[in-house]
Each structure stands twice: as C-alpha cells, then as structure tokens.
Chain A
Amino acid sequence: MAKNALPIPSALRPGRGGVRKERPGPLEYTRRWPLRLIVAATLLFLYLPLITMMVFSFNTSRRNVVWQGFTTDWYVKAANNASLMEAFVNSLTIAFFCTIISVVLGALAAVMLWRFRFPGKTAVEGSMALPIVVPEICLGVAMLVFFARVMPWPMGLPWPLNLGAITIAHVSFAFPFVATVVRARLASFNRELEEAAKDLGASEWRTFWDVLVPHMQPGLIAGALLAFTLSLDDFVITFFTAGPDTITFPVKVYSMLRFSVTPEVNAASTVLILVTVVLTAVGLHIQNRNADNRKA
C-alpha cells in the first residue's frame, strides 16, 4: 500500500467473502425489510377494498358477505337497470363536457397568469385556488343557492341540456386544477421559442398555436384527465345541484345503497373503475410518447 493512500471507508472495503456488497441506503425501500413491510401494507390498504368490491361483483349471493359461486348475472342486471344506466350515461356526458370546457378555460387562465402582469393579479391567482381549498360541502350549498335564486336552470329541457347546471358546477371546481397543471408546465417554456417564431414571420396567433400549445400539450392532457375523473366521481356538489331527472352515477349508487348493497352496484362500480383506468392509461401513454419526442 502506498504511504499516502487515504484510508478506505469501511462501507467500500471488500466484505469477508471478497465480494464487495453495498449496504442498502436508509430509504431503499426495495431492499430494507421493514420498509418493504410498510410498502406492502400500504398497497394492501389502498387496493384490497377495491379488489374485494370487484370480486364480489361476481358473487352469486345477493349479499356482499359470503362467497357462494361465480356469476356474471349482476352485470347483465346492471345493464338492464334503466335508471342506473341513465345515471351512468349522464355522468359520462357531464364529465365529457366538463373536461372540454375546463381545459379551455383552465389553459386560458394559465396563459393569462403566466404571460401578463396586471393589477390584482395576486388576487386573481388566489381566488383561482379557492375552489380547490374550499370544503366541497360549502361549494355544494353555494351551488344550490346559486341555481335556486340567482340563475335558476330551466326545468324540463331535453337531454343533454338538462345537465347544464351540474356541468357548470363541475367546471367551476375542475378548471382551477387544469389551470394549476398547465401553469406549472408553462414555467418551463423557453420564451426564445416564441420570439423565434415571431422572428420567422409568425403572427401572435400562429405563435400561440405553433409553439405555445404544443409545449402545453402534456399539461393539457394531464389537466383533462384530472377534470374528467373529478367530474365523474363527484358526489357532494352534484348531490346539491342534481334535480329528479338529472341523477348521476355516484348519486344513484348512493340512493341504491340506502335500500341494500347488492352486487349490482359492485358490477356498475367495477365498470366505472375500468373506464377510468383505461382513460388514464391512454392519457399517460400519449403524454409519455410526447415527452420522448421533445426532450430538446
């Protein structure tokens, strides 16, 4: 050994068997067994209830307690339950329109807050976050009062116009989420790209579409997914805004539960989860594909 050699830290010194083995770091949860246990427990708590619900949607018994045998009858029954299907279609319709409106509004709000300085900007920014932090029950009551007194939504409109009130309510709490996500994305935008486009002869409008929107796209997709799922599973606010002919899926399930918990509800919920998972997967896939294309 050289005279001046530095002492080798014990962690790096060869082990007894001559094979160097690194000790796991303090937070390496895949290699430390107490952490592995915690991870396993967490996953169990998160997913076991969902899995249980899905499993019991195939149970022959009417009760969600004892497993008696496999059947798909509940799915057929749920599909034939006209009011459940109506609620299901209503929910999807509301979520669809809510997503489109929220993405447009949220993106515009994000661009405004990112691009411009104007008096009262901080106030606007704060009030944008309000629907995110205000308790849902308060929003629900507020919507109820608003649509009862200030702007009554006309009754008896043909579908899907009768869903207007609920859609507006959903947009009001979903678009701030879109704005937040898109704003975060805009923070990484290189202003020189915009200047380059203008320098090459593009108008403000062309610059917006050719340079800014492509950059925002991952944020728009993530925001759209958020808006869609938020709208789809919202119960509290919808409960206050829904009329007798505008039942959504969560509200319908709740009313069915008041009589008894049948596997029919399980079956319908399983389908809903499936729809959400598939949509999220598609969204993430699009986002990843874009991320690969634009690491520049």
Chain B
Amino acid sequence: MSEAVVSNAPAPKPTPHVKDNAIIRFEGVTKRFDRVMAVDNVTLDIREGEFFALLGPSGCGKTTLLRMLAGFETPTEGRILIDGKDVADLPPNKRPVNMVFQSYAVFPHMKVADNVGYGLKMDRVPGEEIKTRVAEALELVKLGGYGDRMPDQLSGGQRQRVALARALVKRPRVLLLDEPLSALDAKLRDQMRSELTSLQEKVGITFIMVTHDQDEALAIATRCAVMNRGVLAQVATPADLYEFPNSRFVADFVGSVNLFEGVLERDEQNEAQVRCPEISSPVYLDHGVTGARGSTVWVALRPEKIEMHKRKNGETAPKMEDAPAGANVAAGIVRDIVYLGSETNYEIELESGRRIKTFRSNLTRYDQEDFTWDEPVWLAWHACSPAVLLS
C-alpha cells in the first residue's frame, strides 16, 4: 500500500457522445405547492448526450423538476429552456421530450404495437412508416415479435421495455425516466442498468433519470445532481460526488460515511490539520482547506478507506508514511462484525466511545478470520482519504 497515491482528479468516463451545448437549462426555477416549497431556485445546465441523474431522498423535489420539464407542472418562478427555447407555454403534448413513467403507464387496452405507435399516430405519421418505426423500436428494446401481445401478457420488465420503445420511437430530444428501475427485482435491475446505458449510447439521446437509489445513479449516470429539500446540493460526476462531496448531506446520502465534527487547527497551501474531539489523534490532510483557522469543520471518512491493524498491549501506534507520527491513527476495539461475502463490515469503538464503520475486502478466503469480537485494533488512513466539509 505504500506506493498507493490517489489522484485528486479521477480520469473522466469516456463519453464521446456528450456534447458541450446545454440542451436543457433551468434558470432560477422555483415551484411552490400552496405553502410547500418543492423546488427552490434551481439553476442547472444539462448537456446534449448526457445520461443525467437527479438524485435525492423522497420529497426532495427531483420528481417535480422532471415533471416541470415534461410539462405536467408549471414553474412558479424561473424559466426552463429546451434547445435555448423557453417552453413555459408549451403543453406536454407539444414538447420535444418524452417520458417513461414509474408505473410504465402502458395502455392496458392496446396491443404492444399500438402502444408503441400511439405517439406517431398522434403526430399523423403515415401508417406504413408507423409500422416500420414501431418494428425498429421494438427491435431496439429486444421485444421484436411482441407487437401483437396485450400488455397483461408481458412481465414487468417487458412492460418497461414497451414504455421505453413507446417514448424512443418519437425520437425525442430528451428522454425522461421516472424511477425506471424501482419496480424491478434485484437481478433484473442489474441487467436493465447496463441495458439502459448501452441503449443510451446507441441512440445518442439525452437521458434524464430521477432516482432515490444512489447505487443506481452512480452506476448509470454520466453526471448527477443531488437534491435536498428543493435545493441542488451538488452537481458532479459520480466519482466526484462520492470522493469529493461538498456537504455533510451529500457525503451521508451518497454511500456510507463516518462524520466527525472538529476544529481547523492548521491550514496551509499543501497541508491542513483538524482536531476532532472524538478521535484521539489529529486528522492530517495533504491538501489545504479554504476555511478560517479555528472554525468548525466536519471530517468525512469513508469506511473502506480505513485500514485495520492488530493492536497488542504496549505496542506503539503504527505510523502512516504520508502523515506526521501520531496523526491519522486511532486505537479502537471491534464491537460488531457483519460478514457480507465479498467484504466484511466492522463496527469499531474508539477510545472516546464513538463507534465507527470500516469495510475490509476479503482478499483471501481466510481474511474474514483476521479479527474477532472485542479485539483491540489500530485504525489508520491516508492523508488524502478524508474529505473536509465546511457545511
């Protein structure tokens, strides 16, 4: 591990189909329902070709934002631009966006082919062309030959494909997906995840997905916006969201984290130090923090970034090679062990009494036997691992 150097700038995901122009622009968009503020002054650009995820807990306003884009809600304030044009006055049936609904909303009384062709029929596309385009769309979602079935003869996953084909067949500028995978079982969800990504790359249409599942957003999206109580908390690539959260909310919502309150003791250009009452040693960082000395900050430490070592009586603390002696190490006792197969989760009680989580990959078949209940351990982490949060 000694040569492990984590770069601060993760390599970008190869996304050649993403262009620079903003296909969607929210400008100071606010939506109030009676007295409830659903969306609060959101300004956001979404680029053409992106697979964008709106992520947040339920009630955070992500669905309202999507529905305003589709035209089912109108903003109380602000503008929404699609391709640079204000769409405030356009009803849903006139917008160049199509939606895949959470319940799929496949018309139960129409054959699959009629479902998929419905939008084209509304656009008065000639019958022959509808036929060929419907067949193409069904082929695209791997439902070729299902055109004559009724929706109740399909499984949940197949119905979702119908909903996808029905939206894509209209060749929209933007495809909206409302919790697309939430109704599927775990196995199917994994499969649909990768299918959605490859489908998006194939058709090259901008996809915007709403989800409350952070795994889903990290796995699929090229960029995510995390929302909290109607406000955009952070907009970033999945890796940046996870590794460089900008607030306690984002750090806690995306993945699992140990948060410590502390005081900023030292802040230089290339190093900084935080003293946390709950950790006996100071937290040393190999980068500066833009905060006033003496101010309250929060240290976010991901469980998998904490190393665990055996601790015997009288033995001194191990030294982390990228931190001064005595920094970034803490003594603790194993209080709980959860074996998950690929990794084991430990709950460690620090000397201050605070319990924190650590994850350890089971690299060999015997790793899980290394530590046992009530065993004294040393915890250690690299100077580049913790994120310091100002809010």
* Interface of A toward B, CB cutoff 8 Å: 190, 192-193, 195-203, 206, 210-211, 214-215, 290, 293-296
B92 A296 Cβ-Cβ under 8 A: no
Of the listed stretches B74-82, B93-101, B297-305, B352-360, name the one at the interface; the rest are far from the partner chain.
Answer: B93-101
Given that A294-B152, A296-B151 are contacting pairs, would A201 and B105 also be in contact in the complex, using a CB cutoff of 8 Å? no
List of B residues within 8 angstroms of A199 by Cβ: 70-71, 92-93, 97-99, 167
List of B residues within 8 angstroms of A296 by Cβ: 106, 108, 150-152, 159
Q: Which residue of A lies closest to B67 (CB)?
A: A195
If A193-B105, A197-B118, A215-B108 are given as contacts, then 4 extra A-B residue pairs at C-beta distance below 8 Å, sorted by A number, are A190-B105, A193-B107, A290-B109, A296-B150
Among B97, B152, B163, the residue within 8 A (CB) of A295 is B152
Contact with A along B58-95 (1 / 0, CB 8 A): 00000000000011100000000000000000011110
B295 at interface by CB-CB < 8 Å: no
Distance A295 CA – B152 CA, assembled complex (angstroms): 6
A200 B170 Cβ-Cβ under 8 A: yes
Distance A210 CA – B107 CA, assembled complex (angstroms): 9
Given that A214-B109, A293-B150 are contacting pairs, would A200 and B101 also be in contact in the complex, using a CB cutoff of 8 Å? no
List of B residues within 8 angstroms of A195 by Cβ: 70, 72, 92, 99, 101, 105
B170 A201 Cβ-Cβ under 8 A: yes
Distance A203 CA – B122 CA, assembled complex (angstroms): 9
Distance A75 CA – B376 CA, assembled complex (angstroms): 102
* Interface of B toward A, CB cutoff 8 Å: 70-72, 91-94, 97-99, 101-103, 105-109, 118-119, 122-123, 150-152, 159, 163, 166-167, 170
Q: Which residue of B lies closest to A194 (CB)?
A: B105
Given that A293-B150, A296-B151 are contacting pairs, would A200 and B103 also be in contact in the complex, using a CB cutoff of 8 Å? no
B105 A202 Cβ-Cβ under 8 A: no
Distance A193 CA – B94 CA, assembled complex (angstroms): 17
Given that A193-B107, A294-B152 are contacting pairs, would A201 and B99 also be in contact in the complex, using a CB cutoff of 8 Å? no
**CB of B167 to closest CB in A, whole Å:** 8
Among A196, A203, A210, the residue within 8 A (CB) of B99 is A196
Q: Could you name 14 residue pairs across A and B whose Cβ atoms are closer than 8 Å?
A: A190-B105, A192-B101, A195-B105, A196-B105, A196-B107, A198-B71, A199-B92, A199-B167, A201-B93, A201-B94, A202-B93, A294-B109, A294-B150, A296-B159
**CB of A202 to closest CB in B, whole Å:** 5
**CB of A10 to closest CB in B, whole Å:** 39
Distance A281 CA – B94 CA, assembled complex (angstroms): 44
List of A residues within 8 angstroms of B106 by Cβ: 296
List of B residues within 8 angstroms of A210 by Cβ: 107, 118
List of A residues within 8 angstroms of B108 by Cβ: 193, 215, 293-296
Distance A119 CA – B187 CA, assembled complex (angstroms): 50
List of A residues within 8 angstroms of B167 by Cβ: 199-200
Q: Which residue of B lies closest to A203 (CB)?
A: B93
List of B residues within 8 angstroms of A198 by Cβ: 71-72, 91-93
**CB of B161 to closest CB in A, whole Å:** 14
Q: Which residue of A lies closest to B72 (CB)?
A: A195
Distance A206 CA – B92 CA, assembled complex (angstroms): 14
What are the 5 tightest A-B residue pairs by CB atom distance, in nearest-first order? A200-B119, A201-B122, A296-B108, A196-B105, A192-B105
A200 B102 Cβ-Cβ under 8 A: no
Among A190, A192, A200, A293, the residue within 8 A (CB) of B166 is A200
Distance A62 CA – B93 CA, assembled complex (angstroms): 71
Q: Which residue of A lies closest to B108 (CB)?
A: A296
Given that A190-B105, A293-B109, A296-B106 are contacting pairs, would A202 and B122 also be in contact in the complex, using a CB cutoff of 8 Å? yes
**CB of A100 to closest CB in B, whole Å:** 23
Most B CB contacts (10 A, CB to CB) among A192, A211, A214, A295 go to A192
List of A residues within 8 angstroms of B92 by Cβ: 195, 198-199
Distance A265 CA – B99 CA, assembled complex (angstroms): 63
Given that A192-B105, A211-B107 are contacting pairs, would A200 and B72 also be in contact in the complex, using a CB cutoff of 8 Å? no
B101 A196 Cβ-Cβ under 8 A: yes
List of A residues within 8 angstroms of B97 by Cβ: 199
Most A CB contacts (10 A, CB to CB) among B98, B105, B118, B119 go to B105
List of A residues within 8 angstroms of B101 by Cβ: 192, 195-196
Distance A63 CA – B105 CA, assembled complex (angstroms): 63
Most A CB contacts (10 A, CB to CB) among B107, B166, B170 go to B107
Q: Which residue of B lies closest to A296 (CB)?
A: B108
B119 A201 Cβ-Cβ under 8 A: yes
Distance A200 CA – B105 CA, assembled complex (angstroms): 12
List of A residues within 8 angstroms of B170 by Cβ: 200-201
A200 B98 Cβ-Cβ under 8 A: yes
List of A residues within 8 angstroms of B159 by Cβ: 296
Distance A70 CA – B353 CA, assembled complex (angstroms): 100
Q: Which residue of B lies closest to A207 (CB)?
A: B93
Distance A2 CA – B70 CA, assembled complex (angstroms): 63
**CB of B25 to closest CB in A, whole Å:** 21
**CB of A130 to closest CB in B, whole Å:** 33
